[in-house]
């Protein structure tokens, strides 16, 4: 993956932090993060203050990119806007912000999914208003058509 090309002002970063902190004051939110699809953390809020946020940013970007690529390989478009992970004690939602950013929201398991989805959607709208066109750079293809054809040809040559 490539490094982020996102350039934000100090004021924009402050507004983004305030947005995530405001989100964290609602319900039983445990963690929020805005990142880009290259796996870079932009801003985050952590209830415990001990999470490895750079690793989380890289992993969640990879998860979203993999989901987009699976959709493409199954004949769809690269337009997945929401991933929901239901764990034993928490729910994690990951939403796209424009074309090149993502927003992660982790809540306690008992937080209603409808509330979490709505909170994520409203936060995405606020973030888009702050970052503007900076969020519109689409992610690169994870697997090119040439790679797929060459890979298939190599597999065929083995058999």
Please answer whether residues 73 and 56 qualify as being in contact, where contact means their C-beta atoms are separated by less than 8 angstroms: no
> Which contacts qualify for 47-56: CB closer than 8 Å, 24 or more apart?
56/31, 56/104
Residue-range domain boundaries for the chain? 10-158
Q: How far apart are CA 85 and CA 96, in angstroms?
A: 15
pTM of the predicted model as reported, rounded to 2 decimal places = 0.80
Closest to 62 in 3D by CA, of 36, 90, 80, 88: 36
10-158: CATH topology is Beta-Lactamase (3.30.450)
pLDDT tens for 20-70 read 998 888 878 999 999 998 899 999 998 888 899 999 999 999 999 888 888
Closest to 131 in 3D by CA, of 3, 2, 17: 17
Helix ranges, the chain (H): 10-24, 53-73, 113-131, 145-158
pLDDT tens for 107-150 read 999 999 999 999 999 999 999 999 988 788 765 555 556 666 77
């Amino acid at each position: 993956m490539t490094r982020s090309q996102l350039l934000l002002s100090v004021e924009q970063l402050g507004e983004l932090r305030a947005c995530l902190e405001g989100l964290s004051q609602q319900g039983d939110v445990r963690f929020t993060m805005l990142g880009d699809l290259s796996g870079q953390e932009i801003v985050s809020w952590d209830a415990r203050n001990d999470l490895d946020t750079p690793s989380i940013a890289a992993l969640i970007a990879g998860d979203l990119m993999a989901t987009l690529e699976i959709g493409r390989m199954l004949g769809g478009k690269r337009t997945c806007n929401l991933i929901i992970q239901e764990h034993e004690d928490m729910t994690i939602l990951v939403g796209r912000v424009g074309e090149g950013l993502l927003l992660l929201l982790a809540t306690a398991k008992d937080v209603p999914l409808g509330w979490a989805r709505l909170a994520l959607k409203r936060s995405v709208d606020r973030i888009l208003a702050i970052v503007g066109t900076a969020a519109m750079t689409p992610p690169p293809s994870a697997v090119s058509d040439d790679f797929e054809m060459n890979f298939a040809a190599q597999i065929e040559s083995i058999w």
